[in-house]
A = this chain, B = another copy of it.
């Protein structure tokens, strides 16, 4: 279940008039040859977008494939996770076009904060990120549980 990608770090970028965002080259370098510059970008659980390199996404896909559409619960789960998943490529300059649906969801307009989180890359509106930081940081009891499971 561990990933071959170990994205880390935070970066400040901007989105241009054609809704293009640059993937920081240091993160891009971790992409594999057979990712073929391709990745999946989708809604994060928070108000951000998540990027998975193609090889990482394939793992997720495999698990989704095991869910039968005969069950209603599964149908809804599958639909809701796949409908927001966009398969994209970055161009020769390392940029991709952020789909409109994700512009709306992330509320990104000019500035963009990009964060490497191990197997995925997060794309944020810095203002939303700051708000989210303030809200979540403060004594959320679930952190306790996490810190028992995750050894940092």
Contacts and interface: CB of A to CB of B under 8 A. Distances in A.
Interface of A: 1-3, 6-10, 26, 40, 45-46, 59-67, 69-70, 72-87, 101, 115-120, 122, 136-137, 140, 142-143, 146, 149-152
A12 to B, nearest CB: 10
Contacts of A63: 149-151
Contact of A117 (B59, B82, B118, B136): B82
Contacts of A151: 1, 59-60, 63
Given A64-B118, A151-B1, A151-B63, A84 B146 contact: no
Contact of A86 (B3, B9, B136, B146): B9
A92 to B, nearest CB: 20
Contacts of A140: 73, 76
How often does this chain occur in the complex, in copies?
2
26 contacts: A1-B65, A1-B66, A1-B151, A2-B65, A8-B40, A8-B82, A8-B86, A9-B84, A10-B83, A10-B84, A10-B101, A45-B75, A59-B151, A64-B118, A64-B150, A65-B118, A65-B119, A67-B150, A73-B143, A76-B137, A78-B118, A79-B117, A82-B117, A82-B118, A83-B115, A83-B116
A115 B79 contact: yes
A46 to B, nearest CB: 7
